[in-house]
Amino acid sequence: MEKSIDAKRVGHILLNWAAVIVLVLAVIVFTAIRGTAFFSTANLVNILRAMSILTVFGMAATVSMAPDGFDMSAATLGTFCAYVFASFCLWFNFPLWLAILGTVIFAMIMYLLTMFLILVCKVPDMLATCALQFVHQGLGLAFTGGSAVSAGLTPAGWFAMFNGGELKAKAPGWSVAAQNVGKAPWIYIIMIICVVICWVLLERTKYGRYLYAMGGNKTAAKLSGINVKKMRFMAGMFAALFIAIGGILVCSRNMAPQINGSDSYLMTSLAAVFVGRSVGGAERPNALGTLIGALLITTLENGLTMCGVVYYILPAVKGAVLCLALVAAYASSKED
């Protein structure tokens, strides 16, 4: 009897720290195979850069999922935000701060639609945001006139209205400041700021407590006097903030908002949240866990690429990580 309880406890600890253990194992294995090519400062920088955008989208997913919400349209909105950011920089020639502010406000306005569907029309989160994916994609391309926004390309037709009838971008190309956003060290700093904001919001403020309370039991939270709609709306606005930042990073890193450029971050960011959900026995989406999840996924991708695994297999690896994370999250639950 004693022994089985001990075994159970050890099993629990292993599950709770599974993400970290896998991460450490991965580092050891990759180092053993590739030596200093993998285990070096230069490669660490690579990994950090590669994970930063994923982490920012992961924060958006974390903050939506804390009150038991969901957002399938985060990546498409991110792409849309990238178009908008690029147009602010290139077509309107806004200074960087104004372009960023404008993009964040734009994301929040677009998110009002999501919130309208979820809170006013009472459509379940998953379905509402699935539908909105298409809306974002279509409106996004309508905004750019069907092509990417890039230095040297002609702006979309509507832009002439803002430019005295002339269809020509106001800026000759990307400003240095806008380019730097997507480069080290700014991209790390932005990632860390996003994680800190998300962590403080969820772990240290009363709003975070309310969001987790809603995630645990919405009825009880409501009957405790928590304004659940207001809180869900607030979570949505924070998600919009992170999505906008994610879109800006994607755009700045690629020097152009490619069509559907952020879309691949959706599933990966959800995977990061699920990997991080159980880290340290938190059992709920949390900022630090998501950070570890993003680090794990990126390290695996990086290491496997170095070991000569062809790039087109990598999605299968990501999928496997997500499966394992979900197994860890749900297999230990008591219901069957």
Positions in the binding site for another protein (CB under 8 A):
1, 5, 8-9, 200, 204-210, 212-213, 216-217, 219-230, 283
CB of 29 to another protein, least distance (A): 35
- The values of phi and psi at residue 327, to 5°, are -60, -45
3-class DSSP assignment, residue 61? helix
CB of 299 to another protein, least distance (A): 31
* Of 168 and 229, CB closest to another protein: 229
* Of 26 and 282, CB closest to another protein: 282
* Of 227 and 305, CB closest to another protein: 227
Q: What angle do CA 50, 55, 61 make, to 5 degrees?
A: 145
Q: For the beta carbon of residue 164, count every other beta carbon within 10 angstroms.
A: 7
Residues 232/119, Cβ–Cβ less than 8 Å: yes
CB of 227 to another protein, least distance (A): 4
CB of 190 to another protein, least distance (A): 23
Q: Give the closest residue to 285 by CA, choosing from 39, 46, 62.
A: 62
* Of 42 and 121, CB closest to another protein: 121
Q: At what angle do helices 228-254 and 96-115 cross, to 10 degrees?
A: 140
Q: Which residue type sits at 106?
A: F
CB of 197 to another protein, least distance (A): 13
* Of 91 and 238, CB closest to another protein: 238
Q: Give the closest residue to 298 by CA, choosing from 36, 61, 52.
A: 52
3-class DSSP assignment, residue 226? coil
